[in-house]
Amino acid sequence: MKYAMLICGDDREWAALSPADEQDVMKQVYAWFERWQPTGKIADGGAELQPRDTAKTVRAGANGEPVITDGPYLELKEVIGAIVMLECDDIDEAARIAATWPLAAGMSALEVRPVMSHE
């Protein structure tokens, strides 16, 4: 079954990293992928998202027409910064794999959620 691993954090903290610290973090992330890709647990390499100030939010307005605003709708400290798709037997296995993410104990929180299947 597929699970989405949502990587959350404060993108302002990421922007504050020195180039050397950013390079160190990316080495840890690449090592994580090198560990799990051969096992078949990574269903899709995922995507890193641009910072929150590049976002647009679309919501229904009072008349039902879409209203587009800059940035995230709510002012949140943590936002989703990346998504990785996992292929696991159950959510407990997905959570165990997520727990090995190199930023889990640092500036990120990880949310693991089953992906809907309409088969």
Q: 82-93: string of b/e by CB count within 10 Å (b at 16+)? A: bbbbbbbeeeeb
Q: How far is CA 54 from the centre of its chain?
A: 16
Q: How far is CA 18 from the centre of its chain?
A: 21
Write out the chain's pLDDT in tens, 119 residues.
999 999 888 877 878 888 898 889 889 999 999 999 999 999 988 888 888 788 888 889 999 899 888 876 566 677 888 899 999 999 999 999 999 998 755 567 889 999 998 87
Domains and CATH numbers, the chain: 2-114 (3.30.70.1060)
Cα Rg of the chain, angstroms: 16
Count Cα atoms within 13 angstroms, Cβ side, for 63. 2
